[in-house]
Chain A
Amino acid sequence: MVATSRTLSTRVWPLHLVKPTRGLVDEKLKVIVRNLNPRQEVTLRCVHQDVWEGFGHYISDQHGTVTVAKDASMGGTYKGVEAMGLMWSMQPVPGSRKGLRTLSTRVWPLLLVKPTRGLVDEKLKVIVRNLNPRQEVTLRCVHQSEDKDVWEGFGHYISDQHGTVTVAKDASMGGTYKGVEAMGLMWSMQPVPGSRKGLRLRKKHVLSPMVFHISVFDGHITQGFSQLTALATHAVERWYVAPGVQRVYLQEKGVQGTLFIPPGPGPFPGLLDLWGGGGGLVEYRAALLASHGFVSFALEYLSSEEINAPTTDVKYFEAAYQILKSHAMVQKDRLALFGLSFGSTIALSMAAYSKIIKPRCCVCISGSHVNAVQRTLSETFQEIAKNVSKIRVEDGQVIWRDIILPIPADPSMKIDVGQIKCPVLLVNGSDDQNLATVESAEDMERMMEKAGNRHLLQVLTYPGAGHLIEPPYTPHHRTSNFVIGKDKVLMLWGGQAKPHADAQEDSWEKIVAFLQQHLYFTGSQAKL
């Protein structure tokens, strides 16, 4: 409560007493102001959440006292002797949205989130019940990454006539995503205002879950969430590993990487998981694939120091494959190659040329057959570097897609995909700004048509999707920081949030089905 003084001539030390300061909503308030000047005009105002106000105009008596229960308000939102006028006369402050519901009904919203513990590729069910009918609310999902950055996704909803919001069925009217999006709270996540630029959300420690907090707020809020009290909040764990998945770091015969083994006696089909030119050891996809029943070997083949002068050669990948093949928990005749970006190029090269690597199938995300990996990676990178002039920079964003364009007609510049003997699933985004994957796929199709093995190729092309096609519900990154030697650039990957999210969700389901079909299915080779 605030009493505002009109005259400045006499300094006033008003004492205002409000009782009780905590009460039930059906209890009366006693409001008294003392130590004003005699016959001082004051306004008593009651405000709630900066949105609702009630106020009365009073004149203090000869002692400088105003007693709300006894004195008459001469104006404001109520008039006359009204002990509780400050409360019941409340109305939205000027400039508020129209048609706000009154405060007369207290809401006990019930937020239901399921599952509270799940794998990262599982859908979430989010329902809010017991709101007022047609209440405006904001659903928000927030996550603090291992690097301590804060990410958020939020949607604006209006409850139905029963006071219910069902995220899977109702349309978000604004926020970080719009429309009916069951998983919008996840895939639309972005760094909160004020965060560092060029961030990418990637889990390093895959044996612990990512923790998200899903809250429902009153009103359509777009900022300042941390200063507000939510109506309700749930904590949700999202795991890359199913219970029982084992993680084994391997350093053997010069090869290093991490093996993820599903629970059970095994042996299981296996796959070699190859990431891109960013280097390092990326484990989360292999962990997730192990949760689907595949021994997955995340291979480190480019450490960040070596990225400009890699010494790795073809033998490294063959050795890695042998380690996987001969592992006690792996079925030696049920192996696959899984690549993304440069990893896809490696996968296609091995599948075409290696006498040792004979996978049952290959999954190649955002990859190209241009520039084979024949001897050392260093030689391959040198080939790529010849076209460095084709790199564009627009608005400070580095675009690499033109490097391999036009797709060379000279077969010696490309992997001879006509030699591949196993099914290949290509997954590409039409808006890939990093690698000309769609053009590459078209060329591969032509080559395989000519060679007579076109029936082995399956291509999934996603409009509006960019380069980084990750497991589902991972936030989309159109650009992110990328380290090349000593330089840090902002790399343009491409894609728009919604179509990219759809691509991740759809492709993952098809990828897992493809792997299960070729690695688990008991049918004969002729079916393939």
Chain B
Amino acid sequence: NVGRPCPLLSVHPSRCLVDEKFEVLCQHLLPALQVTLHALLQTEDGDYWEAFGHYLSDAVGSVRVSEDASLGGSYSGVEPMGLLWSMRPVPGSKTGLRLRKKDVFKPTDVNISLYEGHLNEGFKDKHPLASVVAQRWYTAPEVQRVEVKEKGLKGTLFIPPGPGPFPAVLDLWGGGGGLVEYRSALLASRGYVSLSLQYIGLTGDDGKPCIVGNDYFEAAFSILKQHPQVCPDRVAMMGLSFGVSVTLGMAAYSSVIKPKCVVCVSGSHVMPVNGSLADVFDEIKKNVKNSRFDEEQRVIWRDLLLPIPDDSSKKVEMGRIKCPVLLIVGEDDQNWPTSESAEDMKQMMKQAGNSHLLTVLSYPETGHLIEPPYSPHIKASNFILHETRNKVVVLWGGHTVPHSRAQEDSWHKTLTFLEQHLYSNDRVASRSNL
């Protein structure tokens, strides 16, 4: 009985924010034992997602995920966070799922279990040797959530704890519409008042779907700027997909919106000069015949804005932008021609003489949905077209390992970029004099 193994499984930290790493450690196994580490979570919709890695304990009976190589499973090699980013829906799940948190004040409990042997399936029918819980949060304690309804806007404000005032970010998601809060919640946890704005899929007073004009975004930016806990001269904009069209358009043309800096993820500058969201939709609709389908009938929309026009009236005049721009693009983006757009934007800014404002992060084999780190890579998912309510499966692109690295790297660079432009004192440039 004395010699019987009593494995000890631990995850550290057991509670953290979703963009933080953890260490999974198994001890007191027999040496050279084949084991599987398995991660399981249940979404708010009731779906189960899992990831697993095959390991071999070392001479003292330990497995340390941050240092040991997974020999197979949903990820392989030395991958400290593979148990999270390689997650996919368990066999038998609905198809085309996407993992997105709705209630940002409830954590996600990830069950991490240790099984004997190298298993690939049937986890729920097997008895694990040990199991622990890694709890992951989108919000730090005492981040506040406030619904924004004034001036016809629909959004949610997240405010960091503390007296403030704070720099702020206007956070714009993409064509999927709805109100997506988790990135704003995370930005607030990092010290920024963040406004998640819903701007697609809104209905007018008549109950019919309406497309908002530029004044909608200007109102949102103003509300943010005037908030008592916001430093009015330190407000940035962050957009993904369609959100980038809005961000670049406003930064270039709006007399009201003067962001301190902008972050543009997976987007394009192609739209009529000084246009509105409606203009972007029209442009895209014109080319809908350019939709392609892959062998699994997943729709590829990247050609709808190609070729990048030479005509300068058909794109945002990048030379007009006066603030630093961080462009994040995936080179395997199958939804928007983001690489081509980024290249064109670079050329425009070179010619206009403001390319010193531009930083481009271009990630090979990375798709369209560049989300906060350790979120599972979604290569394709269900999408409901707003006007027709038809359901399609959209191909976003990317390969899991490089895409996951891109999410991790781009998020940290985004936070550094925001801190540099929104928090640092203006003495940064003359730091060498100190």
Contacts and interface: CB of A to CB of B under 8 A. Distances in A.
Contacts of B6: 268-269, 331, 334, 519-520, 522
Interface string A94-123: 000000000001111011000111110010
Interface in A257-283: 262-265, 268-269
A6 B422 CA distance: 48
Interface string B1-26: 11111101110011111001000000
Interface in A233-255: 233-237, 239, 242-244
B425 A108 contact: yes
Interface in B183-220: 189, 191
Interface string B146-178: 000000000000000111000100000000000
Interface stretch (B132-140, B237-245, B329-337, B394-402): B132-140
Given A105-B425, A108-B167, A293-B10, A263 B17 contact: no
A117 B16 contact: yes
B98 to A, nearest CB: 25
Interface in B231-257: 231-234
B128 interface: yes
A230 interface: yes
B30 interface: yes
Contacts of B130: 264-265
A133 B1 CA distance: 62
A483 to B, nearest CB: 34
A333 B6 CA distance: 11
Contacts of B232: 24
Interface in B272-304: none
B137 A333 contact: no
A163 B424 CA distance: 10
Nearest to A209: B141
A243 B109 contact: yes
B133 A107 contact: no
B429 interface: no
B431 interface: yes
Contacts of B8: 293, 516, 520
B163 A235 contact: no
A525 interface: yes
Contact of A119 (B14, B162, B163): B14
Contact of A333 (B2, B13, B30, B133): B2
A294 B319 CA distance: 64
Given A263-B131, A293-B8, A230 B162 contact: yes
A211 interface: yes
A148 to B, nearest CB: 19
Given A119-B14, A161-B434, A516-B8, A235 B128 contact: no
Contact of B163 (A110, A122, A233, A333): A233
B127 interface: yes
B127 A110 contact: no
B132 A234 contact: no
Contacts of A72: none
B161 A237 contact: no
B28 interface: yes
Contacts of A268: 6
Contacts of A13: none
A268 B167 CA distance: 49
B162 A111 contact: yes
Nearest to B132: A263
A262 B132 CA distance: 8
Contacts of A243: 14-15, 107, 109, 133-135
Contacts of A412: none
Contacts of A520: 6, 8, 27-28
A242 B141 contact: no
B61 interface: yes
B419 interface: yes
Given A242-B14, A264-B9, A333-B2, A232 B163 contact: yes
A334 B6 CA distance: 9
A102 to B, nearest CB: 12
Nearest to A122: B13
Nearest to B5: A522
Contacts of A242: 14-15, 132-133
- Listed residue (A115, A117, A331) with the most chain B CB atoms within 10 angstroms of its CB: A117
B142 interface: yes
A223 interface: no
A233 B166 CA distance: 12
B389 interface: no
Contacts of B109: 243-244
A287 B129 CA distance: 22
B14 to A, nearest CB: 4
B13 A118 contact: yes
B30 A234 contact: no
Nearest to A526: B2
Contacts of A382: none
Among all A-B residue pairs, the 5 with the closest Cβ atoms: A233-B162, A244-B133, A264-B131, A235-B142, A235-B141
27 contacts: A105-B426, A107-B425, A108-B231, A108-B425, A110-B191, A110-B419, A115-B16, A116-B17, A116-B140, A117-B140, A118-B15, A130-B423, A132-B425, A230-B162, A233-B162, A262-B132, A263-B133, A265-B128, A291-B14, A333-B1, A333-B2, A334-B6, A519-B6, A520-B27, A520-B28, A521-B28, A525-B2
Given A117-B140, A211-B141, A293-B8, 18 more contacts: A105-B427, A108-B167, A116-B189, A130-B425, A162-B434, A163-B425, A215-B162, A235-B142, A243-B14, A243-B15, A244-B131, A263-B132, A264-B128, A265-B130, A291-B14, A516-B28, A520-B8, A522-B4
